[in-house]
Chain A
Amino acid sequence: MPVARFWRDIPSRYNLYGSRCGSCGKIYFPTRHICPECRRSSIGRMESYRLSGKGKVYSYSVVHEAPPQLAVLKPYVVAIVEMDEGVRVTGQLVDVDAEKIDIGMRVEAVLRKIGDEGPSGVIHYGFKFAPVPD
């Protein structure tokens, strides 16, 4: 991924900034400039909104065929997380063994390395999800 594109996404990748429609209050992630429900009446009324980072596993799958960047993590888990704000966010699930994952399990966003541009390239950091310690 180009460095500039990643850089522009830092607020959403580090701190889960999405959007809230100023018209109907619906929350979106990633950022949207128009609310698909309110359409024209949402123009200019979309606000930056920070998700709490907390949610529950809605669905997940174990990835065995990984791109070279993620080979060292194989097998790893990718989950769709239903955030407490209602919006669904996809991300890797870490710090848990695949057989111990349950649908509905509480998770929260953590910041991890999500890749780099080779040994001399820039390192990309972004959110993943980890079980909430009880």
Chain B
Amino acid sequence: MEVGIVSYGAYIPRFRITPIEIGRVWGQDGKAMAKGLYINSKSVPSPDEDVVTIAIAAARSMMRRVDIDPADIGALYVGSESHPYAVKPSGTVVAEAIEASPLISVADLEFACKAGTAGMQAVMGQVGSGMIRYGVAIGADTSQGAPGDALEYSASAGGAAFLIGSENIIARINSTLSYTTDTPDFWRREGQPYPSHGGRFTGEPAYFKHVGEAAKMMMERMGTSPADYNHVIFHQPNGKFPQRMAKMLGFTDEQLSRGLLPPMIGNTYSGAVPLGLASVLDTASPGDRILMVAYGSGAGSDAFDITVTDTIRHFNLAAAPTVASMLENTREIDYATYAKYRGKILMKG
């Protein structure tokens, strides 16, 4: 059975802060940070936004673009590392908000930044086996870095939702595979507000190893080479890592550019690869082939080989905001406002 993307929706909060502004406060060279990370601004959620509201905004856009009965959605998974509750699934609120409740399997997934793509694999399996007609996979985050930490320059917010099914698919998922090891490059212990990272350890043995291996294994499985793809999307904790990964594997900047969002919005964690895919699909043409590789610290990579179908010609993209429109409609804030919005100021309780 063919399984693929029937619809999708994206959401990026409107506020932005620049590395220059963050550097100004901490006495660091924000300009150099921006250049080093290839991040010129990052998205900041409003105080009334969290993973649940971002997931809902994306899921509602996804539903607006197709005419399907939400009761036909049999599973919904929200992948994030910043679920607002430790216990009480984000997905329950999302399912209710798109009126897919109550006959639906819901779970919150966690695997650092690749929980959204892990959700795509889970619903693909259920659709492919005939267990459900449609399933929804969402990747969304509102992650934070400790004040003054390097992560503060990149950690941002956003997400995207994908409706997976076997009828009227706009993009066929030809294959998926995962590459997983026990690698302590980045973690956050229960109850800690900010994550910790293994410094330089995050690059070679972690990101590049897993993303690179998964990409190579996928191309080997499919009998493809970089030249066979119109677009490539790698997990994007900053703008530089995916550029380097692309070069190492033999992809060009042109193949990478459509799905590379960190220069404008920073690192949306679980939202990163899903938003990159949404950005690519927003302007995709029938026959376009996409290689997508997510990465989650800890560590693992999910690779997907995707082909855009003729059905995309009839897809009602205009029924919801495109990624490009959300990159344009923004408002820059200063560090004081950012600190207030993100709860970094200790209030009298």
Contacts and interface: CB of A to CB of B under 8 A. Distances in A.
Interface of A: 10, 14-15, 71-73, 94-95, 97, 110-114, 122-123, 125, 128, 133
8 residue pairs, one from A and one from B, having the closest CB atoms = A112-B48, A113-B48, A72-B47, A111-B56, A14-B97, A133-B321, A112-B53, A95-B14
A8 to B, nearest CB: 13
A113 B49 contact: yes
A52 to B, nearest CB: 11
B57 A111 contact: yes
Interface residues of B, number: 25
B85 A128 contact: no
B93 interface: yes
A72 B85 contact: no
A120 to B, nearest CB: 10
A123 B85 contact: yes
B341 A72 contact: yes
B192 interface: no
Contacts of B347: 71
B96 A72 contact: no
B47 A125 contact: no
B346 to A, nearest CB: 12
Contacts of B85: 123
Contacts of A73: 46-48
A72 B14 contact: no
Contact of A133 (B48, B56, B93, B325): B325
A53 to B, nearest CB: 9
Nearest to B342: A72
A133 B325 CA distance: 8
A113 B50 contact: yes
Nearest to A114: B48
A114 B341 CA distance: 15
B331 interface: yes
Given A94-B48, A113-B47, 14 more contacts: A14-B96, A15-B97, A15-B99, A71-B347, A72-B47, A73-B47, A95-B14, A97-B331, A112-B46, A112-B48, A112-B53, A122-B88, A128-B48, A133-B321
Q: Is the interface of A mostly helix, strand, loop or mixed?
A: mixed
B329 interface: yes
Nearest to B88: A122
A72 B52 contact: no
Nearest to B46: A94
A5 B340 CA distance: 30
A123 B97 contact: no
Contacts of A110: 53, 57
7 contacts: A15-B99, A72-B341, A73-B47, A94-B48, A111-B53, A122-B88, A125-B93
Contacts of B321: 133
Contacts of A97: 331
A73, A94, A123, A125: which has the most chain B beta carbons within 10 Å?
Answer: A125
Nearest to B320: A133
A120 B59 CA distance: 27
A14 B97 CA distance: 6
Interface in B296-349: 321, 325, 329, 331, 340-341, 347
A66 to B, nearest CB: 12
A38 B248 CA distance: 73
B203 interface: no
B49 A112 contact: yes
Contacts of B57: 110-111
